[in-house]
Structure 1
Amino acid sequence: MPAFGLGTFRLKDQVVIDSVSNAPELGYRAIDTAQIYGNEAEVGQAIAGSGIARDQLFIVTKLWTDHYASDQVIPSLKDSLAKLRTAYVDLTLIHWPSPARAVPLADTLGALMDARTHGLTKAIGVSNFNIALLQEAIDTVGAGNLATHQIELSPYLQNRKVAAFAKSHGIHTTSYMTLAYGKVLNDPVLLQIAAQHGATTAQVALAWAMQLGYAVIPSSTRRVNLQGNLKARQLKLTDADMALIATLDRGERLANPENLAPAWD
């Protein structure tokens, strides 16, 4: 699981094409999308035009809730592959828990395991689960078959309980919305740390997450920001920096859709 990738949430049409076209030129090799984003075809177009060999890229997509039934997982994934112009994705995630638990988790995970066996995806995982759902997934397919748990995680929502539970079972955590929709960019503590390192606040937040062992997938529509975010990989925060950022947690959750979100820990 690459530590750094490009997110494409909320990016559409030519905007996402430009973002995904710029990213590989700058050194990005992981691209994260989802069926519900409505941009898989544009992402596929940009990847095809990037000139980067397929085996050098790490492509992630996520199943939408309409496709969780065991007989729908593989057809929907094949549709995603056609849009992405690839024979396989590197990672497929269950995007959110099944609404009202209408489809048993075991059905979806079982079909994803079959998809992996058939070479449609190299790995599988989950997103937006709480501890109880993670435990159910572990009981169903084993922790070793869950490549990552993708969850909202930022300096303002540090999700320590869920991340610690995943880590205790050897499940990697991917942080999305690490910049909290840009809210952290003007945080006084992050501004102070950034000034000390000659960095940006975005780089500080991303470096913080990576130093905790999480992968990050920030998105941007501007080439200069894509390039700047990538420099977070070289930023090393001190123990004092990390301790200061730990104090910023205020449980501020931004992704909490009604009828989809579980009872958060």
Structure 2
Amino acid sequence: MLIEHDTKIQLCEFSQRLGLMTPQKKHESDKARKVEQIIAFLEVIHSQVRKYSKKRELVFVDSGAGNCYLSFMVYYYYTYVVQRPVRIHCIDINEALMNKNRNLAERLGFERMHFHTADIEQYTHCGPIDVAYSLHACDVATDKAMFLGLKNNAKHILSVSCCQHSVKNKMQSYENTKGLTKHSVIKDRLLYVVLDSMRALLLEMQSYDVDVIEFVSSRATDKNLMVRAHKKQLVESEAIYSQYRRLRNAYNLRPYLEGRLVQLGLVASFDQVPEQLPVK
């Protein structure tokens, strides 16, 4: 446990200033679960960067940021608990939310938080990124968040996906696995697992060391799988491409991230070159 109990209490108290936890009982349990998710995500972030020199500023990018609750908590933790400089860029297409978040940051004195109203793909970042993260970014926003991290050579990419609307109806399975997709609730969960597995493999193709973890208890959210990636110089493995092709063909799934990597020539088209190792 990287964040001590007393610090978690301090973070929960700060969450009240964000409107996440209130005395009102009607939504109290939902908000408490949200805070639990945020603190758990923060612990993972800290596990990745805690050994970095405190002499330099940490740079984070939050894609599909929404209300920016996670980023406000991250900023508070590093500024007032860890006491080291941090700069956070929050991206979301919702202009009203970004304006609201910007005003809140000004009231809190969070001067190194920046809010960008844009599609994630249209955002241009200057300089290095320590952690590119997204928490429950909707549909292809998860892929766009990962792609932003990839094209900017982020040291770490942390992603917890949410709904998968754009590909749900495209998912198929062969005769011997049709029982897995017969029932909608099981199909939804399978889609969630398979897509994240494919995204993890795509990150591995780009020299990231990747694992998938349960970042928080399922009591807090049923969407509790995190793709956790760390940039390294890894040797390309044909097995990774083979595993990816098999998942791709078995369920007829094409993650948005794949298309963007193919467009930039970072991987060869899996349709055109089905049997040989794609070349970057």
TM-score (norm 1): 0.39
Rg (Cα) greater in structure: 2
- Normalised to the residue count of structure 2, the TM-score between the two structures is 0.37
Q: Which has the higher contact order (CA 8 A, sep 6+)?
A: 1
